[in-house]
Structure formats: C-alpha cells, structure tokens
Amino acid sequence: MDFFEAQARAKKRTTRLVALFALAVIGTIVAGYFAAIFLIGQASGRVQRHRGYAAYDAPAAPGRPLWQPAVFAEVCLGTLAVVGLASLYKWNEFSSGGSAVAESVGGRRVDPHTTDLHERRLLNVIEEMAIASGVPMPAVYILDDEPAINAFAAGLTTGDAVVTVTRGTLEKLTRDELQGVIGHEFSHILNGDMRLNVRLSAILFGILVIGIAGRGILFSLRNARVSSRDSKNGGGAVIAIAAVGVALLVIGYVGYFFGRLIQAAVSRQREFLADASSVQFTRNPSGLTGALKKIGGYALGSSLQSAKGTAIGHFFFAQGFTSMFGGAWATHPPLDERIRAIDPQFDGKMFDPPEVVDVAHESFRDAGLVPPLAGLAPQRPQPPVSPAMRAMTAVGTLTAEQITGAQSLLDTLPARLRAAARTAGEAAPLLYGVLLDQDDLAVRERQRQLVATRAGADALRVLDELDPSLRTLRPEHRLPLVQLTLPALRPVAPAELAPILDTLDELVHADGRVSPFEFALQKLLIRSLDLGRDPSRAGVIQIYSFNAVTEEISVVLSALAHAASNVDLDARAAFAAGAAQIKLIEARLTFLDESASSLEKLDAALDKLAAASGPIKQRTLVAAAHVVGADGRILIDEAELLRAIAATLDVPMPPLDGTASV
C-alpha cells in the first residue's frame, strides 16, 4: 500500500462524492420545487373558493404554468442555504478532531493507567501499531454500553486520530482477533479514510436536516385538536402546517435516500481494502477472519444498541445498524463475502459461541485450517535496500516485522518511563529529562535549575524520580517515547501547554547548540500537538510545482548530508545521491554549506514544504532517504532528522532499523 497513492485516491473519492451528493441535492431541489408548486396551487384554490368562485384553480391550470422561475429560484436558494448551513454546522462540530466524534456517540476515554486487563491489552496493541507505523499515538475510547463487536477510527489527520471499540470487542475477542480489528482501523487512519468519513457525515446531515425539520413539525402537531367551531380558521392553519411538514419530510428523504445509497457504496468498497491491509499488517489472516466469524456467530453480532451512532454508521468496523432497504443501504459488505476475500476456502460456518478457540497456543493458520494468501507467498530475493529506503517503502503501512519490532522496543523500554509517558502530570517532566545533557555536568545542572525555575519544584521532583530510568534509556527509545506522551499532552489547554514548550526550548538551547535529536523532538511534538488541536489546518495544499520549492529541497538534502559523520563518504556525494532522485529539478538543486543548511534554515524550509502537494513530499522524502542511506548504514542523528522531516510533512514514518549510535 503506497501512502501517497492512498492519499491521492482519498482526494479523488472526495471530489467524486461531492459531485454525487450534488446530484442528490439537485434531486432535493426538484422535489422541493414541485412540492412548492403543489402547495401554492392548493392555497390559491382555497382562496378563490372562499371568494365564491365555482371553478377550482389547479396548479397546472392555463393561468398558472408549471414552470415558475421565481418559485424555483426561491426553492433553490432556500434548499442550498439549509443544506449548506447544516453541513457546515456538523463539519464544525467534528472539526475539533476524532475525540469529538467519539464523545458524540458516548465514548469514554480509556485511562492510560487502567488496571482492567482487557483495556490494558487494547492499549498495548494500539501502542505497538502506532510505534510500528510512525503515527502519533491515537487516543483510545470505549463504548461501555455496547455489548456487540464493533470499532471505528475517527479524526481529520493522524495527529488527532482516535480508535474506539465497543465493550463486546474487548470481552469477546482474543488478542489476535483484536489485533486484526485494530489493524483494519489503522488502515483507515493511514489511507486518509477518516477525513472522508467526516465529510460524508457532514454532507449527509445537511441533506437529512430538511427531513428532520418536517418530522419535527409533524411531531409538534401530534396533540393538535380541531373542533367544528374553528375548523374554518384554525383547522385550515393546522392542515396547512401539516402539509408543509409532510412536504419537508418527503423532500428531505428523497435526497437522503440517494445520499445513503452513495454513502453505502463507497463505504463497502473501502472495507475490503481495509480488511486486506489488516491481513498485510499482521500476517495473521485468522485474527481478522476470527473476529468476523464471531460477529456472525453471536446473536448481537455487530449491531449497536444506541441510535447515537446512526449518522456515523460508515465509520464502524462492521454493519452497526439494520437497513430498511437491505443491501442497498448496507454500509459494509456481507460477512461471508469479507471472510471469503481473505479465506477462499471458507465453508460458511460462523463462530459457535459455546466453543472456545485457543488461538493463544495455536492459530487457525498454524493448524492448517486457513490457506496462505497469494499476497503472502514467498517472494524472490531482492537486492539489498538501505534501512532508510525500507522505512520509506513502509510509509503508510504496517508489516509483521514492524509490529514485532515495536513490541520488542516497548518491552525493553523502562516501565517507569512508559508509565510516566501516559500520565498528564509526568509527561512534561519526562520530556525535560530526555533533554538533560548526559556528558556535561555543568550544563545538566543548569538545565535542572531551568526546570525548577520554569516548571516548579514538583516537576523537578518527578524529574529526579525518573532520572535513574532515564540514564538507562537507549538512543532508539527516545523518539518512540515522545510519541507515547502525545495522548497525555493533547488535552492540556494552550495556556498551560505554552510554558511547557517554552521550557523545552530553553533546555534545548542550554548548551548553545541544537542537536538533530533535539530538533526532531521539538518538530515532532509541536507539529503533532498543533494538528491535534486544529486538525483542519492539515491537508491544505498551496504548492504544486517543484520549481517553487527548489531552494527548500536543497536545504533539506544538504542538512541531511552534513548530519552524516562517516568520513569515508563525502557529504557532497551523499547530496548528489539524493538529488538524482528528483530528475525534474536535479540540475537546479544546490549543495549548501553547513551555515546555509543549519537546523534553523531547515526549520523554515520544512514549514514551507508542509504546504506542498503529495508528489513533492514523496519525492523529497525518497531523495532524503537516499542521502541518509548513501553509505549503507544509518546513524542515530540521521535517523532522527529524517523522522523529524517526515513528521513535519505529515507523513507517518516507522522507526528505522539498523541504526548506529556513532
């Protein structure tokens, strides 16, 4: 799965959906126009009969043509105004990020220090996938009142993503099955499906709101009584209001009907892709098929009890609500089709609840019950590829090797530091501690005094408690540890977060220089938190031409070339290896000296490149990977700088293997 290609497909799908929903709106306008003509004709006829006319002036009478431009213009403007304002309202409601979506359906945020074994297992699985894929750690929510098996991912960017699961998912699935479901949701995160889902919900609500208004009018008249004495006055008004209500209801559901058809068709297509990606991520098809079979075997399956999630039914892992129009409105493919797409030998038998499958000791695949997928067949040996290029190839995806590596990394991370990363009051002191100088005692003491002055005695106390564990921290642990602090820092108010970031900046400059790791920490942290607070800022493309960012790309490649400390390779040669990957502007790219490609210059260059199109970001990162891997090995400074560049460009990059600390 190519991350940049997936993002491009998501944008194309968005354009297509807007066009299709525009047709639904046009249908709504047409229905509204004919309803208006009918109601005007009815009102006109009543007025004339009241005046004594014997003839009834029907809407299509010669004196009242069927086509009335003025009426059409009013209906058109009114419909567009209502639909547009309602869609903007819903978009604004969800624009604060995935947490708003999760909380709108009753989700409860999981305490990072939960002692519930099921919740602990869920957090571990999500942490592993976040570290392996290079995305910021998502917030985790649970729908406590939902005993069925279901889940969804929501958000506008990877920086504000959340993963939500039902209570039934936690209690009924094994770890392998849970990993398959979470892998499915991470596919939606990496494929750009979340933003598309939010747009779908907003547009659909805009169309539905007309029908909701009609239903509200009819509901308000449920206790209305019309006596014979006022039937000529009040009775007529009640009938007229009821007629308007019925008209709005019909008009609204005309557009809603076609909108749901479009929504369902697009959603079903993406579910097959997410299933396939999950199997690629985990290399364990029995995990995902096991979850799907349990949905088919349990009485509740994936059906949600609360109607709160109806508007976001297409977000979920499996069909959450029964469709009155059967498969036409189903947001997900039938379970047997999804299972057969993974296991062509599936015999149609779903999970039998009384039986317990012990996948902890033997998976279905190991037992020979599931044939290997064609996509998992052994591949021919490939030429050696540098760790940087392997990481670039893995951008936007997950592999079993990456997940295993993330599990190993998290297992070797000091438990005290992992716990601190999840705690709101300790996450900031942990970041301060990561920045403490390990070599110069004078600088280290100056940094401790900065913490005491800027953050207070409590922060210094926590820092001292963490110090023994921090001294054992390996270089490759540092950036993943920063990733783990993000869920604890995102809820911090901007007024409280600003002093934390200022303190970090002073700690970075305490020794008068900025290391690649310090630069990477600040870029990753600030970019992720900014997008978490205002995800609408992401995805805004202002630059489509390579020529417009030639200078910035030169700075990026030069900075990486200078970061290499390998004396056997000239920095200029490393730069040339990267520049050769962008043939369009290769001749215009200039190798810059260290002062012209300093971290300060790199910071400004990356801020501009963040607004570039996907192809520009992709080729820049490929070129950067060739610079870093030009000598066949990756230094820690190079790896951290490369991950900082990827994070600033909103590209989830997994950790690099094979790094050296020298």
Instruction: Give catalytic residue positions.
Output: 185
Other CB atoms within 10 A of residue 481 CB: 25
Four-residue CA torsion sign, 406, 409, 415, 421: negative
Name every residue whose Cβ is closer than 8 Å to that of residue 612 and which is 6 or more positions away in sequence: 541, 542, 543, 544, 549, 620, 649
Decide: helix, strand or coil at residue 189.
helix
Q: How far is CA 83 from CA 21, 200, 241, 634, 644, in A?
A: 11, 13, 21, 54, 41
Alpha helix segments (H runs only) across 343-398: 387-393
Q: What is the DSSP letter of 110?
A: P
Helices (H) and strands (E) in the chain, counts: 24, 6
Decide: helix, strand or coil at residue 201.
helix
Distance CA 411, CA 654 (A): 17
**Which of 78, 22, 24 is CA-nearest to residue 255?**
24
Q: What angle do CA 139, 145, 149 make, to 5 degrees?
A: 75
Distance CA 43, CA 33 (A): 15
What's the distance, CA 528 to chain centroid? 13
Query: Crossing angle for the helix pair 175-191 and 193-220, nearest 10 degrees?
Result: 90
582's tokens:
């962008």
Contact between 436 and 464 (Cβ < 8 Å) = no
Other CB atoms within 10 A of residue 580 CB: 12
What is the β-pairing status of strands 139-143 and 162-166?
Answer: parallel
Task: Sort residue 209 into left (φ over 0), alpha (ψ -120 to 50) or beta.
Answer: alpha
Q: What is the DSSP letter of 543?
A: B
Contact between 83 and 248 (Cβ < 8 Å) = no
Distance CA 17, CA 291 (A): 30
Name 163's bridge partners.
Answer: 140, 153
Q: How far is CA 134 from CA 130, 449, 473, in A?
A: 6, 33, 19
Distance CA 363, CA 466 (A): 40
Residue-wise burial string across 296-324, b where 16 or more C-beta atoms lie within 10 A, e elsewhere? bbbebbbbbeeeebebbbbbbbbbbbeee
561's tokens:
């070339």
Alpha helix segments (H runs only) across 51-116: 69-94, 98-104
> What Rg value do the Cα atoms of the chain yield, rounded?
29
What is the β-pairing status of strands 162-166 and 151-154?
Answer: antiparallel
Contact between 133 and 652 (Cβ < 8 Å) = yes
Maximal CA-CA distance, the chain: 105
